[in-house]
Each structure stands twice: as C-alpha cells, then as structure tokens.
Structure 1
C-alpha cells in the first residue's frame, strides 16, 4: 500500500461521491462518519476559526474505496477500519501533505495502528485517552421499575437547559464540543432529537438525545443526568423511551458508551443493547524540549 493511494480533498461533494456506497455498506461501523458528513452537508462546517474539514479515501487506481478519513479540526481524525500497512501509508501521506493531526478516533485496532505509525513517522507522543464501545439494540427490554414522571420531547422553552446540559455532558465525558451549544440545541430541536424525563411536578431530570436517521440507522446520543440526580433510574427510563421510538421507525438503533463507566454499560445491556465493536481515541503531542 502506497501513500499516494490515499486521495485527500477539501471538497465534501467529491468525498461523498467517492465514498457514499462504501460508507453505507457497513453503516454501523461507519456511523460517525455518516452522521458527521451528513451534518456538514446540511448545516455546514461551523469551524469557529479552525481549519476547514478535510476528507480522504483509500483506493488503488480504478479500484473500489477501501477506507475513508474525515477530519473536522480541532477534533481527532476519524478513520474507518484499516490494517497496519494502510495506516502506515496514511501517516506518510498526511505527513507529506503537512496536515496537522491532533489525534485519531477509530475502531480500536485501527486507532492503535495509526497511532503507532504516526509516532514512528513524526516522533510525536501518542496517548490513548478514551475507550468506547458501540452497541446495537437487539430487542428493547424496558426497565423493571420506571421512576415517577414521564418522558417528553424537548421544545423551545428548554433551550437554556439543553445548552447547559450539553456543556456539562461534554465536560463530564472529557470530550470536545463539536458545536456551539446554541447551534447544537437548534439542530436537535429541529428534528425532535432531545427527550427529557421529568418528575411529576414537571422538573426535567435526565436527557436522551438522538441523531436524525442516516443510512437506515438512528444513533442515541447523548444520554445525560446531572450528578446530583443519578441513581434514580431516570437515564434508563428516558433512554428506553428514545430507543423504543427509534426502533419503531424500522431503523437500526445504535449508541456509544465510555468503557470507563461500567454503570452505563450495564444499563444499556439490560435495555437490550449488544456490543458491536470497541473504539479508541489517541491524542498526539510533541515531545517536551
């Protein structure tokens, strides 16, 4: 595999023309690339001063697409599954192009292979920072006990609460916000993609979001309950509500969990979610001195 087999572009339309069939061939494994590229297509990059998005496809001349790259700075590069030789070719290609790579997010083995290749190619320090598991809903099993209250789809009056919880969720999970909170809220409200669990007196206590259907799948994200309100079953109740509604459309229902949080992993398995694959994020930093 040669570095020039990686074709890089800043043109989203060109990328989707080349890669769409490949991405839709394994939509669960490619779910993040599918949903991010769709958001870029419909809403624009929202770069906030960062570099514009960059895309890439791996294919030998005249051959089919074998893998893709999607990078929305300042976030890590997103990769579909690669073998070590393909990862090494990509590291060479990006280094030759002078493309800065703050980190990588991919299926576990792919992320490790690229981190190793990038370290060897550039001398950067590579550190695994997040481990996640992708789950697919098999058959929804509602919680044995549902807490008092009800689920409702969030509306315009919930904008401030949703923005605050989005910021808290990102901080709680150690991630980076992909959108301005107000823009994130607006995008969720326009398709009913935020559901709240509220107590009998109308107080919101938990959130489960969902992305729009893409390639026959709906991804549940995020699920958040403020720390002081956890342990009452609110997250399970609202996640079951959103999962059931998504499954009723006939879509495949997916979600990611942080493997450092065993409580959430047990919760989703009790609801009927089954593991698909593990993913990892690696961060790259220059050596001191």
Structure 2
C-alpha cells in the first residue's frame, strides 16, 4: 500500500464524521480514541497539549474505514489495529511530513510493527515503556470482607485532595507530569466521575474514577491508595463501587487498563470480575520517555 492511502486531518469534526461508526463498532478495543476524541470535542482541542492534534484514517477498497490514529502532542501516537504494511505506510507518511513522535501506543502487535518501522525509517532507537492489558468487567464480585467505611462521590470540597492524589498517582505509575491535576479533577467532578472510600470517621483512604460514557463504554482509571494505607482492601472496594455505579447507569462495557508489570493490581481486578480482552504496548522513541 502507499503512504498517501492514509487520510490525515486536523479537523476533529471531519475525522469523527468519517471514522465515528468504525470507532463505535468495537467500543472496548477503541476505548481510548473514543474517550479522547470525546474529551477534545467537549473540552477543547488543546486539553492535552498546546500543539494541534492530528487525526488519520485508512479505508478498505470498499470504502469502509479500516483503521484510525490520533496524535495529541506531546503524548504518543495512538493507533487502532494495523497490519504490518499499514503500520509501515503510516510511519513513512508521518516521517515524510516531518511529524515528530515521542512514542506509540496500540495493541501489542500493531505497536510493535509501527515501532519497528519507525526505528528503521527514522533511525531512532525505540524501547518498551509499558506493557498493558485491557480488561472488561464480566460479573461483578464485591470483595469480601469489605473494609470498614463506605464509598461516596467526590465533591467540590474534595478538589484539593483529589488533585494531590492524582499527582501522586501519576508519579507512582512512573508518569509524573502526565496531566494537569486541576484539569483532570475538574473534568471528573463535573460528571460525578470520582468515588472516594472513606473510613467511618470520614477520612478518605482511596479513590477511583470513571471516564464519561461514549459508545456504551466507560473506563475505570486512576485507582489510587496512598502508600501508608495500602494492603487494607480500600482499592478493591472503591473499584468495585465505581464499577457498580457504571453498571447501574446502564453502561454496556466497563473497562480498565493495567500495567502487566504489576501482578497485585492484575490479580485484584480479576477477583472483582474483570477479564482480559487484549494486550497493548506503549513504546518510547528516540531515547525520550513518551507520555500518554
């Protein structure tokens, strides 16, 4: 195939009008492009960085969309499933335009194919930043025994706490500066997307958040317990609670990503009822740590 077979645009509305049906056709595997493009549409094109995002799609011979990508600099390129020759053509197209990338994120084989093509064509070293697994909730299992306390929605009065915790979360997962704590917190508070677990005396001990629902799916994200409170069941309890809330709201698919290098979190989510869907990989390019 030719590099020019990829249609590129900076117009989000144009991209969604062409690729929206494709993204909604597999909401679990396309959870990231669905939620990111929804955030860009509702909150502005520069919420992830000062540079304009770039979008792209590839069509089959019959005109149907076959694959897409989006890039919100300085975060890694995000691609849907690609054949090796499609990944090669995309790398060639972006390099020909002088487009700079710090990394790529996608399903395991796709990310590997694009990283290999980029390394060969750009002459830059590539390295694995993180291996991830996408999980889908099956039958929810509430952890027993539950820790003392209860879950509640975060409110405006919790804003400073949540901002501090999301900053600590990003540092704990090796991605300091990944996002703006204030921007992230305000967006989640606006749609009741953060739950806290608190002890009987009202002390918050853990949090978990939900993305907005797009295409019938939501994603659990930023599950965090401060280091001195871990090992007491708070993370499992608050994750189960946000998962229950999502199901009760009529969500068809409740999803989450884990770091495969963390057996504790992978085991926890499976005990709650999450089952693996696919493995993803994030690569860094040029010896620079990429962020998403």
Matched, 1:89 2:93: no
Residue number in structure 2 paired with 1:277? 278
Alignment partner, residue 216 of structure 1? 216
Q: Secondary structure at the match of 2:65?
A: coil
Residues 208 and 221 of structure 2 are in contact (CA less than 8 Å); yes or no, is this contact kept in structure 1?
Answer: yes
Query: Residues 72-121 of structure 1, C-alpha deviation per residue, up to 9 Å, x if partnerless?
Result: 11100000000101000000000111110110000111100000000111
1:258 maps to what in 2? 259
Q: Which moved more, 1:89-98 or 1:174-183?
A: 174-183
* Other-structure match for 1:168: 168
Contact 1:47 / 1:73 at 8 angstroms: preserved in 2? no
8 Å CA contact 1:150, 1:200 repeated in 2: yes
How far did 1:50 drift?
3.1
CA contact (8 A) 2:69 2:77 kept: yes
Question: Which residue in 2 is equivalent to 1:52?
Answer: 52
With structure 2 as the length reference, what TM-score do the two structures score? Answer: 0.95
Q: How far did 1:52 drift? A: 1.2
Consecutive unaligned residues of structure 1, counting only runs of 5 or more, are none
Distance 1:64 1:183, change over 3 A: same
2:245 and 2:287 map into 1 onto residues whose CA distance is: 46
> How far is the alpha carbon of 1:46 from its aligned partner?
3.0
State the Cα RMSD in Å. 1.5
Please tell me whether the aligned partners of residues 5 and 61 of structure 1 are also in contact (alpha carbons under 8 angstroms).
no
8 Å contact kept, 2:167–2:176: no
5+ unaligned residues in a row in structure 2: which ranges? none
Q: Which residue of 1 aligns with 2:249?
A: 249
8 Å contact 1:154–1:189 — kept in the other structure? yes
How does 1:122-201 map onto structure 2 within 5 Å?
122-175=122-175, 177=177, 179-201=179-201
Query: How much does 1:205 deviate?
Result: 0.5
* Contact 2:19 2:68 (C-alpha < 8 Å) held by counterparts: yes
Query: Tell me, what secondary structure is at the counterpart of 2:64?
Result: coil
Offset of residue 208 of structure 1: 0.7
Aligned partner of 2:37 in structure 1 is: 37
Q: Distance in 1 between matches of 2:45 and 2:142?
A: 37
1:6-38 Cα offsets, whole Å, 9 max, x none, are 111111011101100000011100000000000
In the alignment, the residues of structure 2 paired with residue 49 and residue 238 of structure 1 have an alpha-carbon distance, to the nearest angstrom, of 30
Q: Structure 1 residues 179 and 5, CA, compared in 2 at 3 Å: closer, same or farther?
A: same
Separation in structure 2 between the aligned mates of residue 84 and residue 225 of structure 1, nearest angstrom: 40
CA contact (8 A) 1:6 1:90 kept: yes
